[in-house]
Structure 1
Amino acid sequence: MTTATGYAEGVEEGKRKHILITFGRSFLTLNLARLLAAAGHRISVADSAPIAVSRFSKAVSAFHRVSPPKYRPQEYCREIAAIVEENDVDMVIPIHEETDILAMMAGLFPPSCDLFLSDFALEDTLHNKLRYQELLVELGIPALKFRAITGPEDIAALDFDTPFAVKQAYSRGSQHVYKAYPGDTLEQLTFDPTNPWIAQEWLDGDRYCTYSVCQDGVVYAHATYPVSYAIGGSSCLTFEQVDHPGVEAWVADLVARTGFTGHIGLDFIEHPERGLVTIEANPRATSGIMMFSAADRVDRAFFGENDGVIKPQPGRVRMIGIGMALYGWRKDSLPGNNFRRFFRDFRAADDVIAEKGDLGPAVMLIPAYTNILVHSMRYRVGLAGGFMHDHEWDGRQI
């Protein structure tokens, strides 16, 4: 447990909140904790892992170890609710897919505490890659061509005449996305009635990711960043704010039509002829939160206190340093990548973990990743999968 020394300025007297952030091992949690604490709020974090990097930040006043939400969801929700009751927590901000689990059991929480999420039906619709595409069709929003695959008979009926992606409705960047071609038999697929596959048109173009903080259908903070260095071309390692009014308007329209509350990220393709289309939505925190600085006062967005949309300062480049060191130099992390270019870009970006005056999380990286490696071996998944494995939700009701 650490104290919030040096993180007590900024918020007006009487408006200081006690905020509990989940998934303490995440760099997203660490950066959000720093941003909120820099504004003067009191921050606690929770995680099922004992060695979570945000636990060692000066921005965090208390750490709570809880049950793994994927494997013990009811216990997890009751433990989070108990922390809220016992510590007068004003807001819970979920970070990863425990969002869906908490949404299912929102009735456990007292009215005095805000859960920063939407109702379960909307969270599930946006999280489920198949239902999200169906939602776009219902709303009359142009979408990529898609088909559901629930069994071998659906494979035989696929009518794509160009390459297409195949992924499960409940999946994330650490899991397989297959690039398939017309006529492929897709014999590698296995079928789970609660988690069908989706075949989705493979479209080339400029790729963008977003992060938005929303309240009751209004966007209060927003970031847009192009896909640059990424693990396997999908999970971003570097982040730079770009001004893209089309993307921002697209996100604002979807958020308004659904009345969404929470944070959300969208993955976009911009095609020269078809314009903007989204690949998928992530109704939870995404890496875009790491682009904001304390000066941006993004804390106001979580309480709907600002008038204009808060955006990161343009030109600031941030990176997940350990991720760049492990993956950024590889050929598949960036088209045309070479070591000279990687080394130049690595030196130019600011690390999201090591921060002057708050070096505890950086010092604890090796123990934290050792713990994740042990976790990965226990569940027989890769390092990236092991990082989030026990906080995933694949559509099973609790």
Structure 2
Amino acid sequence: MRVLITGSRSYAALEMARRFKEAGWDVYTADSVRFPVCRGSGAVTQSFLLPSPRRDLRGFVDGLIRIIQRYRIDLLMPSSEEIFYIASRLGPLRNHCRVYCDALEKLVRLHNKWEFSRLAAGCRVQTPATILLTSQEDVERLEGSEKRYVLKPVYGRFAARNRFGSGDFRDVRSGKDDLWIAQEYVQGAEYCSYHLAVEGEIRAHACYQPVYRWGRASGYYFQPVEKPAIARFAEEIARKLRFTGHLAFDFIETSSGAMYVLECNPRATSGIHLLSPGELTRPFSSGWRDAPRRDGRPKMIGYAMLLRPLDRGIRGLRRWAADFARAEDVLFDPRDPWVPLYHLFSLLETVRVSLSRGVGFKEAATADIEWDGEEIEPCG
């Protein structure tokens, strides 16, 4: 069996490549950056450079089809936001191989934070009170509200543009080309989950706490936990949409035990690192029902931990050291020695894009593949 993984710059794609290789698959990867981290992995048979789907969708899809045909790919596995462009061209791509992705209209209901809040409203897990901001007047009305809100663009990632206090609301310019929502602030413990769904059925599941994180943005230390309410919610959403693809959710659990779902990412996220060997690939084989056991170890982005040993102050240093010692790094593996070098090249490439375009590092990391609801011409 042969798999083609796209978005190969991401750690999630690297996890996929290693797991598929361990399961006996031939692994091919593709991306629109020159130095994706997967390019340095010994798990990858061959890596390909494609045009940016955001700037040249036809060239991107034609390139995928050429690779699929030439190397007889059995499964196309998107990992990051290129999934939205792949979803818009499911018809042509499915003529050549299996595509682990659902229709674009389903992805929109999950990726668009307003649409997701409506989709989840009838489920057993609660959603915070959410308001769609259609004009600047809607934003201004919130400034005097007694309730505390978090403002988010309906299409956003990494919490890069979120506003957490009314003093920041003045910077928000909500309109038809860049809609925002106001979500009532809920305080409590944060949880994240990741799931693999096939035709409305959850076939792999992981839940974790982002114990260490960059401020209010992405986490870099993933402590596995069991939360039955989260697993049931994912099953409910998957059934509701009869969904096939990645599902990932963010939650807050209050001190009273109430669980709130905040948003959804219909792509691979850090929870994929917590799946046991075989659990990631099993949904694509006939023996998927035999659930492998996990070792229960936390996973981490090791260099990020090393950069922030005093994240919790001097008193937290002993806890940091203990957490570091018991976690497994998702990036560095002695059996895969070239990955660190290509990861450095990848970071330098992102820095170059950031400086040349005058955007932040996070924005530069996904600028060529992200999708913010722009019109994509439908294709059968």
TM-score for the superposition, normalised by structure 1: 0.88
Counterpart CA distance in 1 for 2:193 and 2:168 is 34
Partner residue in 1 for 2:338: 360
Q: Does 1:271 align with 2:233?
A: no
More deviation in 387-396 or 164-173? 387-396
Paired AA for residue 365 in structure 1: H
Give deviations 1:4-37, integer Å, cap 9, x for gaps.
Answer: xxxxxxxxxxxxx211101111111111100011
- Mapping 1:186-335, distance limit 5 Å: 186-273=169-256, 275-294=258-277, 296-303=278-285, 305-307=287-289, 310=291, 313-326=294-307, 328-329=308-309, 331=311
Compute the displacement of 1:388 (Å). Answer: 1.9
Q: Does 1:133 align with 2:114?
A: no
More deviation in 41-50 or 134-143? 134-143
Contact 2:7 2:79 in 1 (8 A): yes
Partner residue in 2 for 1:144: 128
Counterpart CA distance in 2 for 1:171 and 1:259 is 25
Partner residue in 2 for 1:31: 15
More deviation in 83-92 or 140-149? 140-149
Partner residue in 1 for 2:328: 350
Alignment size in residue pairs: 375
Compute the displacement of 1:56 (Å). Answer: 1.3
Counterpart CA distance in 2 for 1:205 and 1:336 is 25
Residues 128 and 307 of structure 1: is their aligned pair in 2 closer, same or farther, counting only changes over 3 Å? same
Partner residue in 2 for 1:175: 160
Q: Secondary structure at the match of 2:229?
A: helix
Contact 2:205 2:275 in 1 (8 A): no
Partner residue in 2 for 1:45: 29
Counterpart CA distance in 1 for 2:373 and 2:297 is 37
Counterpart CA distance in 2 for 1:335 and 1:252 is 40
Q: Does 1:386 align with 2:367?
A: no
Q: Secondary structure at the match of 1:229?
A: strand
Residues 246 and 141 of structure 1: is their aligned pair in 2 closer, same or farther, counting only changes over 3 Å? closer
Q: Secondary structure at the match of 2:320?
A: helix
Contact 1:220 1:304 in 2 (8 A): no
TM-score for the superposition, normalised by structure 2: 0.92
Structure 2: gaps (5+ residues):
none
Paired AA for residue 222 in structure 1: H
Overall identity of the aligned pairs, in %: 27
Q: Secondary structure at the match of 2:324?
A: helix
Root-mean-square deviation (CA), in Å? 2.3
- Mapping 1:27-176, distance limit 5 Å: 27-137=11-121, 142-158=126-142, 160-173=145-158, 175-176=160-161
Counterpart CA distance in 2 for 1:315 and 1:224 is 11
Q: Secondary structure at the match of 1:364?
A: helix
Residues 113 and 337 of structure 1: is their aligned pair in 2 closer, same or farther, counting only changes over 3 Å? farther
Paired AA for residue 153 in structure 2: Q
Residues 160 and 210 of structure 1: is their aligned pair in 2 closer, same or farther, counting only changes over 3 Å? farther
Give deviations 1:246-269, integer Å, cap 9, x for gaps.
Answer: 211121111111111001110011
Compute the displacement of 1:115 (Å). Answer: 1.2
Structure 1: gaps (5+ residues):
1-16
Contact 2:15 2:330 in 1 (8 A): yes
Counterpart CA distance in 2 for 1:161 and 1:340 is 40
Paired AA for residue 364 in structure 2: G
Contact 1:117 1:261 in 2 (8 A): yes
Compute the displacement of 1:160 (Å). Answer: 4.8
Compute the displacement of 1:141 (Å). Answer: 5.8
Contact 2:20 2:281 in 1 (8 A): yes
Counterpart CA distance in 1 for 2:29 and 2:159 is 24
Residues 248 and 338 of structure 1: is their aligned pair in 2 closer, same or farther, counting only changes over 3 Å? same
Counterpart CA distance in 2 for 1:312 and 1:236 is 24
Q: Secondary structure at the match of 1:68?
A: coil
Residues 85 and 241 of structure 1: is their aligned pair in 2 closer, same or farther, counting only changes over 3 Å? same
Q: Secondary structure at the match of 1:252?
A: helix
Contact 2:209 2:223 in 1 (8 A): yes
Counterpart CA distance in 1 for 2:292 and 2:232 is 14
Counterpart CA distance in 1 for 2:168 and 2:18 is 49
Counterpart CA distance in 1 for 2:272 and 2:306 is 21
Q: Secondary structure at the match of 1:64?
A: strand
Counterpart CA distance in 1 for 2:348 and 2:168 is 39
Counterpart CA distance in 2 for 1:359 and 1:118 is 35
Partner residue in 1 for 2:6: 22
Give deviations 1:24-64, integer Å, cap 9, x for gaps.
Answer: 11111111100011000111000111111111111100111
Contact 1:241 1:314 in 2 (8 A): no
Counterpart CA distance in 2 for 1:83 and 1:112 is 10
More deviation in 196-205 or 265-274? 265-274
Compute the displacement of 1:357 (Å). Answer: 1.4
